[in-house]
Structure 1
Amino acid sequence: MRYELTDLRLFLEIAQARSLTAGAAALFTTPSAASYRLKNLEQALGTPLFVRTPRGMELTPAGDAVLLHVREMFEGIERMQGEVSRFISGLKGHVRLVANSSSLNGFVTQTLGRFLVAYPGIDAEVEERQSEDIPAAVLAREADIGIFAGDTQVQGLRVQPYATERLVLVTPREHALAAQRSIRLGAALDFDFVCMSRSSSNFLFLRDTAARHGRALRTRLHVHGFEAVLALVAAGVGVALVPSSVLAHRQQAQQVQVVELDEPWALRKLHLAVRADARFPNFIDACLKFLLDDPVVAATRAPPP
């Protein structure tokens, strides 16, 4: 049984993207060349690894088994590179992180930026997902680190507190709700909302919460980024649900009114998760320490005086 490391990397990229074309692009090769390599790999293993469906390239049961081992293999290669890097100048490596919208925009992006400046040999891949999907993604080795809101029942993870934040409603200064100190979300659902993109975990959480109230969300438009959300709220387009952490150090926050939400889910505990059996290279351990030791993040974990 003979196959090349490049074939396994191609298999991994196709499995993650569920697309032969995207997998080929990740390795800077053509789809026809990628198809040839994949066929050779399947012949070497003696079984099909994918089936083509309208949704893309779906793994066969054999493909699922191979994916588990290939992820473990490349994780081992990352550890090897991390260990070897101690003997040469600087660290080298790649960190994969998944996080929900609130933690990404309120905490993670700023901390990760400082980490990458401090460790110029490291690069990072960051993906936003809904909180309920993140623990399983970490367990499946789709990411090294996951940060999500709430608790999880997924076994096989090492979970620790990351940060505490509060979801609030922001309104234009002259809005009908602006004079309220706090409200229930149901009272805000009579008004137009400015929302994050349709795929954002912030929007999906708001939409699903409105549905639990038996209401449809009145969305005037979707935008990318909380800066745009706050600017449009300040301009009077509508109201928005945002994490309080994104209001810090943003000029647009001075132009809106913040209304507390009298909801038990508004106070959110963020958690950081890694696999319990993970043996990370030293650069990922360094990233974990950077994320947890950030003074701004750590301060939110402290109990109120």
Structure 2
Amino acid sequence: MRYELTDLRLFQAIAQAQSLSNGAAAVHITASAASYRLKNLEHALGTPLFVRSARGMELTPAGETLLVHVRELLLGVERMHGEVGRFSSGLRGHIKLLANSSSLNGFIIPSVSRFLSAHPEVNIDLEERASEAILAAVAAQEADIGILAAAVDTPGVRASRYAVDELILAVPPGHPLLRLPGLAAGIRFGAALGFDFVCMSRASSNYLFLREMAQREGRSPNVRLHAHGFEAVLALVEAGVGLALVPRSVAAEALAQVRVGAVPLAEPWARRELSLMVRADGRLPAFTAAFAQFLLDDPRVAATRDAPAASTPA
């Protein structure tokens, strides 16, 4: 039985991409070389690992079993390099971090920038996903760290309280909602759905959450424009194009400069309890564990945790 770690990494990449060509690209080899290596691996193991279907490459039962062991094996190899790497100068390795839009844009980017500057031999694959998808990915060991706004009670993952944030309505200065009596106590979200909105892209977790909350009210938001970043969304709000549902942390600078106004929401889901998740067994490479702790120890992030825990997660 002869095969190499490269074959196993390729197998995992094809399984995740459900595509031979995309899997080959992920490990930086040609599709023809990937096909040869996959056939060699199947021959060595004596069983087919994939079947081709209209949806792409699908794992056979033998492939599903192998994938569980390959993930564990490759994580073990990464841990080995991480532990040995502690005896050399600095941290080395690759980390996959998944985050929802609130944590990504409100807290994570500055932390990641400082960590990468301090550790030039570490690379981070940072991707935005919806909270439910992040939870599933960490539990399935498809990501090293996940940060999300959701209750975490899932076998296979360990959660730490990361940060506390608040969803608000960003509105143009002088907007009628800013003149409502008792505004400090917040308004119900349904009261804002009669106004136009500007939103993040249709695939963003921020927009999908807004749409879901509107559907709970039996409404559909009138979205005048989808933008590809919170900075653009806030600029559109400032220009009077519409309202936006954004985390207070993201809007902090625009609020301080009075470019937009903040309307608090009297909704239990407006408070965002953000959790940082890793594998429950704690067997992380040294550089991954160091990065997770760095995220938790960021002073700006840690300061938000002084607020009491929310009773209803978002």
Query: Residue 66 of structure 2 aligns with which residue?
Result: 66
Which runs of structure 2 are paired with 1:1-305 in the superposition (5 Å)? 1-180=1-180, 181=183, 182-250=186-254, 254-303=258-307
Moved more, 90-99 or 45-54: 45-54
- Contact kept, 8 Å, 1:172 with 1:178, in 2: the verdict is no
**Aligned partners of 1:157, 1:275: CA distance in 2, in Å?**
4
**Aligned partners of 1:183, 1:87: CA distance in 2, in Å?**
56
Pairwise CA RMSD: 1.7
Sequence identity (%): 62
Shift of residue 302, structure 1, vs aligned partner:
0.7
**Aligned partners of 1:214, 1:45: CA distance in 2, in Å?**
54
**Aligned partners of 2:146, 2:299: CA distance in 1, in Å?**
19
SS in 2 for 1:215: coil
SS in 2 for 1:183: coil
Given the superposition, is the C-alpha separation of residues 60 and 272 from structure 1 closer, same or farther in structure 2, using an over 3 Å criterion?
A: same
- The normalised TM-score by structure 1 is 0.94
Structure 2: state its 5+ residue gaps. Answer: 309-314
- The normalised TM-score by structure 2 is 0.92
SS in 1 for 2:163: strand
Shift of residue 49, structure 1, vs aligned partner:
1.8
**Aligned partners of 1:204, 1:299: CA distance in 2, in Å?**
28
- Contact kept, 8 Å, 1:247 with 1:253, in 2: the verdict is no
Q: Name the count of aligned residue pairs.
A: 304
SS in 1 for 2:242: coil
**Aligned partners of 2:201, 2:233: CA distance in 1, in Å?**
10
**Aligned partners of 1:141, 1:253: CA distance in 2, in Å?**
42
- Contact kept, 8 Å, 2:98 with 2:146, in 1: the verdict is yes
**Aligned partners of 1:8, 1:111: CA distance in 2, in Å?**
33
**Aligned partners of 1:108, 1:230: CA distance in 2, in Å?**
19
Structure 1: state its 5+ residue gaps. Answer: none
Whichever residue aligns with residue 60 of structure 1, its letter is: T
Whichever residue aligns with residue 20 of structure 1, its letter is: L
